[in-house]
Structure 1
Amino acid sequence: MIMRRTIERVLLLGALSGATFVASPERARAQDDDYWVDVGDDSRSPRSRDRGGPSSLDEATRSGQGMRLGQIAPREIPPSYAVRRGDTLWDITGHFYGNPYEWPRVWSYNPEITNPHWIYPDQSVRLLPEGTPTTIAAPTRGSRVVVRRGVETGTVFLREQGWLDEDALETAGVIVGSPDDHMMLSPFDQAYVRFDHLPDGQSAPQGEYTIFRAIEAGQRTEGEEGTLVRILGALRIDSWDSERRTARATIVEALDPIERGYQVAALPRRFEVVPPERSEIDLDTEIVATLNPTELVGDQQIVFVPVGEEAGVRVGHRFFVVRAGDRWREELAESQRQAATIDPPAEPEEYPDEVIAEARVVSLRPNSAGLLVTRATVPISIGDRAQLRRGY
């Protein structure tokens, strides 16, 4: 059973599995949407007590203010619960604890449940640690949710997968612990993150970091470089202990349950698609990775090249993806070639380059760049050559 978050309207855009691109105002109007983010209980705030606030989600959307949801009176939490048809851990935890975000805690009490998305009718789910009697849960004042805008026009947003070059992976941190008492972490939980190495010139981690797991080599195309990662969420660095090289952080997004041992990196996920910028250099390189290694790569998808700022690449530069050769000879089997009515002549030593795609730089690191394919006449492959041309 797929857990559904009833206080969030999740933004779903485009057909790309790894990235979302909003190219024009028309597409933006058709695809963009607001989404609700739970920012916790702010009942102790004087401003929160003084103002009445919106009385409906629609009013809160129009006003841009938050709205309190989920105020619940004191209630009993029994040691266990018998699952009924249609139940999810999200629903069960919301009913008994008054906060569905506590579902990782309930899951940690039930090690026999190997997948939190799948529970079955009549299954007994422990709601408290083993041996704990019925508990009276304190009343809750609910949470205030605020409206945030979705992906803006002219941006690329990585929502499921990302790519790290060797330099970025070397400076990644790892979640080593949490002051919370449950195995699976979720938004608003605290985490301890250790960084053995930081980028040159940076004395402390700061801002938001992406939580990820590396995708195994067997799931990637042969010859790809760098590390393709599955994005699991994000956390915000709150403080830094330079002696222990450990940061205290708050989880702000969880696409899946977050566990100790997951890595974090400064992986940008939102990029502006700027106007094309004329190149002042000639540069030859090749496509070394894609966000979707098992799929054909075409328009509005992301590819990566192993050159960046240090080579003179800039955001907005246009790379021309080129290929040379006789595609008929390369792609057809020997038996199909023999079907020709005349023997093909010997191939020339070298074919001219043909442009098969154009891609624009949208993300940049010292030694790598992410490109958005803006036009492609045939699918792009790993190893295809990419060129910057002076004056274009």
Structure 2
Amino acid sequence: MMMKSVQRALTFGLVLAVSGMASAAVVLKDGHPSKYFVKNGDTLWDISGRFLQEPWQWPEIWQINEEISNPHLIYPGDEIRLSYVDGEPRLSVKRGVEETVMSNGTVKLTPRVREIANDQAIPAIPASAIQSYLKEGLVVDRQEIIEAPYLVGGRDRRVIFGEGDTVYARDTKTQWEGLEQGYGFYRTGEQYVDPDTNEVLGYEARQIGLGRVSSHDDDMISLRVTDSSEDLRIDDRLFSTEDRRVRAVLYPSAPDTKIEAKVIRFFDRLNSVARNDVVVINKGLRDGLKEGNVLDIYGQGEVVRDRQQGDMVQLPRERTGSMVIFRVFDKVSYSLIMESTRPIYMNDIAESPAGSY
């Protein structure tokens, strides 16, 4: 029986934990190594991809070594070993060693003491690829936009503002109930529309600046603009700037129910995306998705003419990659492309991994 892992952590501003994973069969990759030494720049996904056909299934065969301190974290210098228990594959970690030169010139090898911060462990997925989306990306509905506090002006009768300026914002809805010290300035951007139903799924809110509250008077506050990526303007909205960098917890698992989604948004790409690019799909919390869910990606088959029959036919779809959901809103989700064998296009299909439902 395959071991089910609980409480697996891998932290570098991100934490990888495992809870209730789908029981799809684990298949070792052809030509897999028997051991691997962890290096700086590695991610858990890349390491597990050396051993497994499906890297997200790592926790299915992970074996904790209770003899070492904090066996849930993996650091550069550690050794990942593949072994078999009752005929079933197991992966385990052996801590790296450090060399100590003794007074007589001999070298003593001892297990490395882990008195270092957890955020020096290797990440589950490339943290740098998603950090800005964790901090700055929001998807809101029309009512949230209408009710959000908004910028009404600044000093010297100016209409645009930037870093170092003092600006004023108004909250007519709740009059700053639960006032915070910091806020983000946001501008409404892309409208997300379901390609199948034409339902408006939400609006992208882009963070264009940060501000610190300096004073409060009824429904008005004064803020010092501490950062701006572009000019701030009257009517820009304000939302809380909770720090999501260390709160992001990924659960590498198949969705609890079968998911069939489509890619509906690229960032900074025109025609296609590939590994380490971020996309938006048209499914979210209401569909049962959660952070850490893994989806396979399929390219739509080309429509061609059958020269024998004279009609148009669609070629079979092909699996072109996989993605990990790292941020979930009500009706859409942000995903990181983890693997891509071919370019990934708008309206490509993202669905639950085969064998997990």
The answer to which structure has the higher strand fraction is 2
